[in-house]
Chains A and B, each alone.
Chain A
Amino acid sequence: MTTLYDVRRGMAGTIVGLPSGAELRSQCIRLGLMIGASFQCLERLPGGTIVLETHRQEIALGNALAREIEVVMEKE
């Protein structure tokens, strides 16, 4: 299973699974992080804090959250 945690800077992909906590999931959806949303990784900091762009919007996620979001990477 690939998660946002495994994504590297510059990669693009699609979200296919959200975190298990209901509240966290709702908060993600509000920001546009939902199943089917495509994203591009703008930065990955050491330790796994991820900054991505989806729908022209930059979002930062802590590593614990990144590990809970399942993704499919685009082929280069």
Chain B
Amino acid sequence: MNDRSQPSSEDLTDVMPHAAHRHVDSSAMRFMGSDKKKLVLVGNPNVGKSVFFNHLTGLYVDVSNFPGTTVEVSHGHHPKFAVFDTPGIYGVSSFNDEERVARDIILEADIVLNVVDAVHLERDLFLTLQLIDMGKKMVVCLNMMDEAKLRGLTIDVEELSNRLGVPVLPTTAIHRTGFDGLDQHIAQACTGTSDSRLHRQLHDLLNRVGSQEEALMVLEGDSVIAERHGIEPGDERELIYVERRNRVNRILDRVVTVSEQKRTLAHTLGRISISPRWGLPFLLVVLYGLYLFVGSFIAQDVVGFTEKTIGDRIFEPFVKDQVARIAAVDITVEKIGLDAAGKETTLGSRVFSFPDGTGSNGNLKDEMSKYRDGGTNNLHYDFKSPVAVVFFGEFGAFSMTVTYLLFLLLPLVLGFYVSLSILEDSGYLPRLATFVDRSLNGLGLNGRAIIPLILGFGCVTMATITTRLLGSDREKRIATTILQFAIPCSAQLAVIAALLATAGVKATLIYAAVIFTVFIAIGTALDKALPGTSSPLLLDLPPMRLPRAGNVLQKTWTRTLSFMKEATPWFFVGALAVSVMQVTGVLDSWTKLLSPVTTGWLKLPAEASTAFVMGLVRRDFGAAGLYQMHLTPMQVVVALTTITLFVPCIASLMVMIKERGAREGLVIWAGSWVLAFGIGGLVALAVL
């Protein structure tokens, strides 16, 4: 396995510059393949790496999944280097996917640019020293100097640089302070002063492993790297870590002086947000803000305009008009006017039949135009050819799917990602995770799971992708299941809220109580049933700070783009599948199959089964179908309970299968049929 030439040098640092190219079996090597030298940005989370990355690379950035993982790595170009951004890490090791990816990229790096947070040197220097011990050619950027000053920290940069043995450049990335000298700084990259005792131990391993960095990984017990070289991983990790930690403390004793620390407003807010008494009011204020922005402004005002006006009344009729020219179609024109109260109401409707398309019956088309004339219309195109239905019909891939993706989902996803980035950059997110940690423990999750759970109220598909950040497979499984069962996505939430508004307070309370109970019950049951234990919360809390607009927009953009890229194909697949079921009659027979259950067990009108089946396509369609049925308040409770717990939309099923595997995905999917109708029926027994 190990057939490379062995370095014979006594001096470890001599073997460094090219050693990185030698190890076998590296998907990183293929992933990062480049003629230019590879400059890799490394640092703890939230230290400003991305600001450096954007500065170094400019506009053309490529974000892609690291091979075999779901971890995203950004890659861009600088005149001299290929530049890679890595996920934020606390050390180079393999405790999770992000660390493994960062490790592999670091091993491939020609030069490491280590960004450290001047306010958190205690935390950040551990990684710095580890990189130095690896023998990487590197420079350090001491970022957040503005905040360090604010907090009364004085840092002796020259002494720090002497102790580390690598150049250190003080910067304030958001103001570009220090960036003038950045290129020159990088040019001075060198290997630092590593631990002398380690040095000797590494030397013994070097002959077998070939490079100092990999020798260190093996010594620190990294089984993947050890296996690559066919040797046993070392068991020295803890000793090395403790010694490294002590070195950090010794360096900082010399380098950092603290004058009187000012208590800033941000600091006070940070305290309030995790206080047992004020944490909850604080959270409620944040949630209310979130509701105003996403739930009210985006979901109602923005989507109301983009979906109802642009999508339904401009885009879809335009597309369908083109097809209708040559395809057999019945067009129903519904004239819309405003009633006394200013609400939209149907003034009249008429069906126009074009057996040979609108192109070959000019008279009727003129008549239709005249009928449509003046005011708003809703148009319904009933195509006769199955092909036209599949692509341009009610659920068509080029009609509904496009409207759904661009005019409904995109604004919502943007809204959610803006909010998430603000919460993240402000430092509130980890505090929220801390605050809710104990409550989520009972469900077999730790506080970090709050992030996918909140996102689920935006789009379950998006949230399912985010379960990646959870610590263990067990947690991912629990979170995914809860999301798919018990969290109604925003598209559906709007319709549910409207229906509940008509059904009254009692109905709303019962509905909320049932869904909440199911939510708790699923988590608790899975926590009891699944083997193993979930990982405990262990987080460092970054300072609270005012988020920067530029950074928030950048993150929002990257995340939205990557979500849309990932999810879009599945929405098309879903729409195609359902359209095909529609034209082949499978959808109808499904509805028929369900109607005895609907009437007998759920005690709802038979048409409600259509609503459930529609829920397969888009969850909000399902709920919307219930509008027209004039249900009693308690029937509304039963119907909404069933439809909330009922299977997720097809896109979300597809993404779940991708994340969790076909077996688990399908089990969860099938389970939600059983659960939805089971619980729905029990509620019916209780209230009807």
Contact = CB atoms under 8 A, between A and B. Distances in A.
B78 interface: no
A52 B95 CA distance: 23
Nearest to A42: B271
A29 B122 contact: no
Interface stretch (B281-289, B344-352, B396-404, B430-438): B430-438
A51 B438 contact: no
B238 interface: yes
Given A43-B274, A59-B539, A29 B238 contact: yes
A30 B434 contact: no
A57 to B, nearest CB: 5
B245 interface: yes
Contacts of B275: 43
Given A59-B540, A63-B438, A65-B538, A45 B241 contact: no
Given A47-B441, A65-B538, A29 B242 contact: yes
B540 A49 contact: no
Interface string A7-36: 000000000000000111111111110110
Given A27-B90, A47-B438, A48-B438, A60 B536 contact: no
Interface string B622-651: 000000000000000000000000000000
B438 A56 contact: no
Chain A, interface SS category: mixed
B245 A29 contact: yes
Interface string A30-72: 1110110000001111111101000111111111110000000
B98 to A, nearest CB: 13
Secondary structure dominating the interface of B: helix
B93 A62 contact: no
B22 interface: no
B341 to A, nearest CB: 49
B572 interface: no
A31 B538 CA distance: 9
Interface string B80-98: 0000000000110101000
Nearest to B534: A64
B249 A55 contact: yes
A56 B538 contact: no
A43 to B, nearest CB: 5
B122 A45 contact: no
Most chain A beta-carbon contacts within 10 A, residue among B120, B271, B438:
B438
A51 B274 contact: yes
B531 interface: no
Contacts of B238: 22, 25-26, 29
B537 interface: yes
Nearest to A25: B238
B123 interface: yes
Contacts of A47: 437-439, 441
- Of the listed residues A35, A49, A61, the one surrounded by the most CB atoms of chain B closer than 10 A to its CB is A49
Nearest to A19: B536
- Interface-central residue, B533, B536, B541, by most chain A CB under 10 Å: B536
A65 to B, nearest CB: 4
Nearest to B93: A26
B681 interface: no
A28 B539 CA distance: 10
Contacts of A22: 237-238
A65 B539 CA distance: 11
A15 to B, nearest CB: 12
A46 B276 contact: yes
B277 to A, nearest CB: 10
Contacts of A28: 538
B447 interface: yes
A64 B433 CA distance: 15
A45 to B, nearest CB: 6
Contact of B438 (A29, A31, A49): A49
A30 B245 CA distance: 7
A62 B540 contact: no
B541 A59 contact: yes
A61 B536 contact: yes
Contacts of B541: 51, 58-60
A43 B276 contact: yes
Interface in B205-249: 237-238, 241-242, 245, 249
A68 B249 CA distance: 24
B191 interface: no
A60 B540 CA distance: 6
Contacts of A48: 438
Contacts of A26: 93, 95, 237-238, 241
B677 interface: no
B536 A64 contact: yes
6 contacts: A26-B241, A30-B90, A43-B271, A57-B120, A58-B270, A64-B441
Interface of B: 90-91, 93, 95, 119-120, 122-123, 126, 237-238, 241-242, 245, 249, 252, 258, 270-271, 274-276, 279, 430-431, 433-435, 437-439, 441, 446-447, 533, 536-541
- 3 A-B pairs with least C-beta separation: A47-B438, A62-B537, A65-B536
